[in-house]
Structure 1
Amino acid sequence: MSFIPVIISGGSGSRLWPLSRDAHPKPFIELPDGSTLIGRTYARASRLPDVEQILTVTNRDFLFLTLDAYAGEHGVENAKAIHDTFLLEPLGRDTAPAIALATCNIAATHGPDAILLVMPADHLIADEAAFSQAVSKARQLAQTGRIVTFGIVPDHPETGFGYIEAQGNDVLRFVEKPDAATAEAYVASGRYFWNSGMFCFTAATMLDALQRHAPEILAGVTAALEKARHGQQGETETLEIARAEFAATPAISIDYAVMEKADNIACVPVSCGWSDIGSWAAMADLIKPDANGNRLNGETVIEDTTNCFVLSETRLVSLVGVNDLLVVDTPDALLVAHRDKAQDVKSVFNKLRAQGHEAAKLHRTAHRPWGTYTVLEEGDGFKIKRIVVKPGRRLSLQAHHHRSEHWIVVSGTAKVTNGEREILLTTNQSTYIPCGFKHRLENPGILPLVLIEVQSGEYLGEDDIVRFDDVYGRS
């Protein structure tokens, strides 16, 4: 009987703005130890017993970010050969359609008795041994026809999570986020657990539940899978979900669509050092405090300051005579908030998104399948970027209607298509690309290629790109 972990990667992580953005969401932000949430989730899944395949459901735009995060986890400790499969959503439709996609795919490829373990990509678990034991119990329950949810044993009253009321392994009800007094009563009773968003079930059990309680989701997902496009990225199998059919599928969480309606729900309580890193207060807890309760990441100078969190990516941050602050400094945005208002950061992010502000979408450093670019400076009629191309990667063959470009190589070797010419450039060499010329940049070397790009023109937006050929399927 196949056992397949399913990593669900979606959502923007709006409470972790300005580090989390639409184009670089929460699962990919760098933790204080240099790892990522999605990378650690993948590693945790790969270390479970009997795992030969991991299925990831994510947006197609995040395929290469995810592959890079997974590649960082393929080390000596992961000696098992894991077959990676990706279901690539054209747009987000919440967790019920995502889980339905995974269930239908696994039922078709492994049979209805296959067991799925659904894991959100953006959680941390400190005690993997306890988690593995809970997964073993959940697998046993799943084989009896139960949909199993993992209830986190609460160690304090928390108003930011939904709760599960359970008696033994039987779920009595799901409850929404409570107020403080209710949360205290829940924890004192011993019957309530935090709703972790992790699940275990057989494909047949979930298909039956979807047919009973959310048939429109099952129908939409089935239609989207029938027209899906198969692909390959190295050893990784991909399946691009059909846009029109998936867009017509209702957007709803698995809790509302199935879990709160079904009568075969079981709960496995677990205490495993779980956190969903749902706010900057939770992120701060990952850093060891100093004698005054300050948690500092980056260059800082503090004086007469207590219980503050500082994350600074590039600049020196100094705090004097303040308490209980969250300070997050990135090259293009600064967040200062009271610790008690950590959950309200989401409101700032939503306002920026409603305004169409770039700070909700992109960082100064934007990640692409081929590498990164960083906007160093821009003004009227010009923009200067630092571009890094990974070894063996190349940009699309493209042209621009409104700008010309000048490329200067800082380090590495650049293979450049410039109009009808193909040239090699090394350190301190450059080329000029007139407006309208077809061009491509490629790194044929074994070291990263770093260059400076100077753009000149009447319009310098990222959407002024006409792609003629692209190995990443964007043309």
Structure 2
Amino acid sequence: MEDSAHSMKKQHILLTGGVGSRLWPLSRKSCPKQYLPLIQGKSLFQLCIERNAGLVDAGIIVGNKENYMQSRTQASTDLRINYDEIIEAVPKNTAAAIAFAALATDPEDLLLVTPADHVIDAGDTYEKAIIQAFELAERGAIVTFGVKPDQPETGYGYIEHKGLEVLGFKEKPDQDLAEKYIKAGNFLWNSGIFCFQAKVFLEALKQFEPEIYEKSRIAYEARQKDFLPEHESKQIPELSVDYAVMERSKNIKVVSADFYWSDLGSFSAIYDYFKLHELGSFDNSQNLILNSNKHVELPHVSEHIYVETEDAVLLVDKNQTQDVKQIYNSLKKSHPDLI
């Protein structure tokens, strides 16, 4: 046991695939939300590397051919540990992305898998949760992180649990159901952060989704340096890790996380985060002004978000920010140059 413990590395697997369509016009195909300098001049990608650097031995950035140069540029500013790269030819969702990373590491290695576009208040509670997850993963568990909810949020999936045991994964609920979950007291937000041994994940994927496992392996083995091949990648079925493994394995444990977490998936989430942390530029009517060098006046309007870029302006009610995705989708057809 002593020897394997020495050779077992802790690896940070950083998934950078998101587009962030709900944060248009800030987030574009050319600069997805994880690379925007949103928080005190730093991007979510950079903050993710920073908060995990002291907890792991090495890492792998899984990106795609559209965004890998941005990852390289931003990662080079603060790398205390060495990150390898896997560059996808076509995005195939998280089951395949994590499979590539697991194939690139030693079977015994412990993988901490995180999206690059979430915001977390790192500190003792975060560190404790990660250490607990590594200990459970070392004993063969597939670990997910559940965040203690502070409101009946309808934009997140939920995990029903009893202690470390997962009783079930729940889809994004409507308002009534979200309120029931909060009242019940044993539901956590599904954070999309995971921890497991590489071999344990690959065995589970092989068991539940043999085709994803096999086609991912073929694509991985045909890679050229860091680049995965297009033809082989296109054969891989597209599925999230939640559907492929998490919701089907009997081997899941959940670490209940008390740290502040948000996927910053909408302008209302940014509004709440900025308000809580006293960041950003709010006017007297609690409107948030984002990315503008101009003096902006918004009479008769309160709790709105004003966003400005070189080629677009958005004004949206804090409680209607889900509409931004529809704007993004309609612009795809009418003004593709704007996305």
TM-score normalized by the length of structure 1: 0.67
1:277 aligns with 2:264: yes
1:252 aligns with 2:239: yes
Partner of 1:385: none
Residue 105 of structure 1 aligns to which amino acid in structure 2? A
Residue 275 of structure 1 aligns to which amino acid in structure 2? S
Partner of 1:471: none
| 1:5-20 → structure 2 map (5 Å cutoff) | 5-20=12-27
| 1:306-317 → structure 2 map (5 Å cutoff) | 306-317=285-296
Partner of 1:201: 196
> How far does residue 28 in structure 1 lie from its aligned partner after superposition?
0.5
- In structure 2, the CA distance between the partners of 1:36 and 1:260, relative to structure 1 (3 Å rule), is same
Partner of 1:56: 61
Residue 88 of structure 2 aligns to which amino acid in structure 1? E
Which residue of the other structure, out of 132, 139, 153, is the alignment partner of 2:134? 139
Measured against aligned partners, the alpha-carbon deviations of 1:68-87 in whole angstroms (never above 9, x if no partner) come to 2112224xxxxx4x222000
1:54 and 1:295 map into 2 onto residues whose CA distance is 32
Query: Runs (4+) of structure 1 moved beyond 6 Å?
Result: none
| 1:313-324 → structure 2 map (5 Å cutoff) | 313-324=292-303
- In structure 2, the CA distance between the partners of 1:275 and 1:294, relative to structure 1 (3 Å rule), is closer
Sequence identity of aligned pairs in percent?
Answer: 37
Q: Does the 8 A contact of 1:295 with 1:308 survive in 2?
A: no
5+ residue gaps, structure 2: 1-7
Which structure is higher in helix share? 2
1:151 and 1:313 map into 2 onto residues whose CA distance is 36
Q: Does the 8 A contact of 1:130 with 1:272 survive in 2?
A: yes
Partner of 1:124: 119
Query: Relative contact order (alpha carbons < 8 A, sep ≥ 6): 1 or 2 greater?
Result: 2
1:39 and 1:13 map into 2 onto residues whose CA distance is 16
1:34 aligns with 2:41: yes
- In structure 2, the CA distance between the partners of 1:242 and 1:319, relative to structure 1 (3 Å rule), is same
Give the SS at the match of 2:160. Answer: strand
Measured against aligned partners, the alpha-carbon deviations of 1:22-46 in whole angstroms (never above 9, x if no partner) come to 1210100111410000000011121
2:108 and 2:198 map into 1 onto residues whose CA distance is 6
2:279 and 2:104 map into 1 onto residues whose CA distance is 47
Q: Does the 8 A contact of 2:18 with 2:117 survive in 1?
A: no
1:91 and 1:207 map into 2 onto residues whose CA distance is 21
1:222 and 1:312 map into 2 onto residues whose CA distance is 43
2:223 and 2:200 map into 1 onto residues whose CA distance is 24
Measured against aligned partners, the alpha-carbon deviations of 1:146-195 in whole angstroms (never above 9, x if no partner) come to 11000001111111100000111111110011111211111121210000
Q: Does the 8 A contact of 1:27 with 1:37 survive in 2?
A: yes
Which residue of the other structure, out of 169, 173, 178, is the alignment partner of 1:178? 173
Which residue of the other structure, out of 52, 73, 77, is the alignment partner of 2:78? 73
CA RMSD of aligned residues (A): 1.9
Q: Does the 8 A contact of 1:12 with 1:26 survive in 2?
A: yes
Partner of 1:91: 90
Q: Does the 8 A contact of 2:271 with 2:318 survive in 1?
A: no
> How far does residue 288 in structure 1 lie from its aligned partner after superposition?
4.5
> How far does residue 204 in structure 1 lie from its aligned partner after superposition?
1.3
Measured against aligned partners, the alpha-carbon deviations of 1:291-337 in whole angstroms (never above 9, x if no partner) come to xx99627xxxx6xx523221133433221121221211111011111
Q: How many residues align?
A: 332
Q: Does the 8 A contact of 2:9 with 2:58 survive in 1?
A: no
1:2 and 1:100 map into 2 onto residues whose CA distance is 17
Partner of 1:240: 227
Partner of 1:296: 281
| 1:437-456 → structure 2 map (5 Å cutoff) | none
2:224 and 2:332 map into 1 onto residues whose CA distance is 31
> How far does residue 104 in structure 1 lie from its aligned partner after superposition?
1.1
Residue 321 of structure 1 aligns to which amino acid in structure 2? H
| 1:416-431 → structure 2 map (5 Å cutoff) | none
1:55 and 1:171 map into 2 onto residues whose CA distance is 28
- In structure 2, the CA distance between the partners of 1:147 and 1:354, relative to structure 1 (3 Å rule), is farther
1:342 and 1:329 map into 2 onto residues whose CA distance is 15
1:104 and 1:294 map into 2 onto residues whose CA distance is 40
TM-score normalized by the length of structure 2: 0.93
- In structure 2, the CA distance between the partners of 1:310 and 1:69, relative to structure 1 (3 Å rule), is same
Partner of 2:152: 157
Which residue of the other structure, out of 205, 228, 253, is the alignment partner of 2:223? 228
Residue 266 of structure 2 aligns to which amino acid in structure 1? S
5+ residue gaps, structure 1: 75-79, 231-238, 361-475
2:35 and 2:280 map into 1 onto residues whose CA distance is 21
Residue 138 of structure 1 aligns to which amino acid in structure 2? A
Which residue of the other structure, out of 359, 363, 366, is the alignment partner of 2:338? 359
> How far does residue 206 in structure 1 lie from its aligned partner after superposition?
0.6
Give the SS at the match of 2:322. Answer: helix
